[in-house]
Structure 1
Amino acid sequence: MRPSVSCVFVCHDGAGRILLARRSAQARDEPGTWDCGAGALEFGETFEEAVTREVTEEYVAPPLEITQLGVRNVVREDHWVAIVFAVRVDPSRVRVGEPHKFDELTWCTPDDLPAPRHSQLAATLALLPPR
């Protein structure tokens, strides 16, 4: 196996709230947990193109601003390099775009997160700049 590259994104409203999705029963892993979004980088895409495609697919709302936050090396039963982004979106446009992956969305602050949380969420949110 070889590591893959994933673009992980923490969508936010620009006013301190972040968007989390509850993973559905059909999710690839950890169903029922709350997580930010992510998707694989496709051959030939820039990071920004991948983030734009994935945010639009998952939440229907196109990104208004994309900021790279950092990189994580994630090794579990699989292995991927996660390029992490903060993505500002318009909350009025956000809705579940992939109901086979997510069954609910919520806006929250980083210090008031719903539970249970995906095992990778804390490490991803640790890359957010302090408020």
Structure 2
Amino acid sequence: MEPLPRPVSGVGVVLQRDDGRVAIGHRVTAGETPSWSFPGGHLEGGEAPVGTALRELAEETGVVAPAGTLVAVCVRTAGSGVTFAVHVPAPDGVAPVVTEPHAVDAWTWADPDDLPGPLFAHTAAVRHAWRSPGVPLAGWDLHTIAR
């Protein structure tokens, strides 16, 4: 059996408004099948997950938020990678904007229990860990953080 690639650590950001809706983007990264994704990205050396989430959120959507909370750790067993799920309350009146059109061509607000599809695999895991704590998800080892 071939060894799996070295795991990559990333974040998935659940940017949630007071009405419960979350930000989700139409992912159009070259070489990938188009899908829908929460804001997110990879940790850089020395970065903590919440700091990464706030940085990626600002880079990808233009939304600057003061704080976030780590809610789950999602380990991909059907492949490679660790995704930290970070919940960020949306500041009043924010509207995500397309800042990286090569990666995401549109942002919208959606009901977290009725997201458009197909979902990017890491977004599906983050949503599942956040909305259905303790419920297994095939291909993932999910660890919800006590709230």
**Band the TM-score falls in, shorter-chain normalisation:** 0.7 to 0.9
Report the CA distance between 1:69 and its aligned residue.
0.8
Name the structure with the higher strand share: 1
Distance 1:117 1:61, change over 3 A: same
TM-score, normalised to structure 1's length? 0.83
Indicate whether 1:2 and 2:3 are aligned.
Answer: no
Indicate whether 1:11 and 2:12 are aligned.
Answer: no
Report the CA distance between 1:76 and its aligned residue.
4.6
Report the CA distance between 1:115 and its aligned residue.
2.4
Distance 1:129 1:119, change over 3 A: closer
Report the CA distance between 1:25 and its aligned residue.
4.8
Report the CA distance between 1:118 and its aligned residue.
2.1
Q: State the Cα RMSD in Å.
A: 2.0
Give 1:21's match in structure 2, choosing from 19, 25, 28: 25
Percent same amino acid at aligned positions? Answer: 28
Aligned to 1:88: 89
2:81 partner SS = strand
* Cα deviation code 1:69-127 (max 9, x no counterpart): 110111455x1111111112235342111111001111011122212322333321122
TM-score, normalised to structure 2's length? 0.75
Report the CA distance between 1:129 and its aligned residue.
4.8
2:24 partner SS = strand
Distance 1:115 1:48, change over 3 A: closer
Aligned-partner Cα distance in 2 for 1:14–1:69: 18
Aligned to 1:55: 57
Structure 1 residues 117-128: aligned runs within 5 Å: 117-128=119-130
Distance 1:96 1:70, change over 3 A: same
Q: Once structures 1 and 2 are overlaid, which stretch shifts more, 114-123 or 4-13?
A: 114-123
Indicate whether 1:36 and 2:53 are aligned.
Answer: no
Indicate whether 1:113 and 2:115 are aligned.
Answer: yes
Structure 1 unaligned regions, length at least 5: none
Q: Is the 2:72–2:86 Cα contact (8 Å) retained in structure 1?
A: yes
Aligned residues: 127
Q: Once structures 1 and 2 are overlaid, which stretch shifts more, 9-18 or 91-100?
A: 91-100
Q: Is the 2:8–2:81 Cα contact (8 Å) retained in structure 1?
A: yes
Greater Cα radius of gyration, structure 1 or 2: 2
- Runs (4+) of structure 1 moved beyond 6 Å? none
Q: Is the 2:27–2:103 Cα contact (8 Å) retained in structure 1?
A: yes
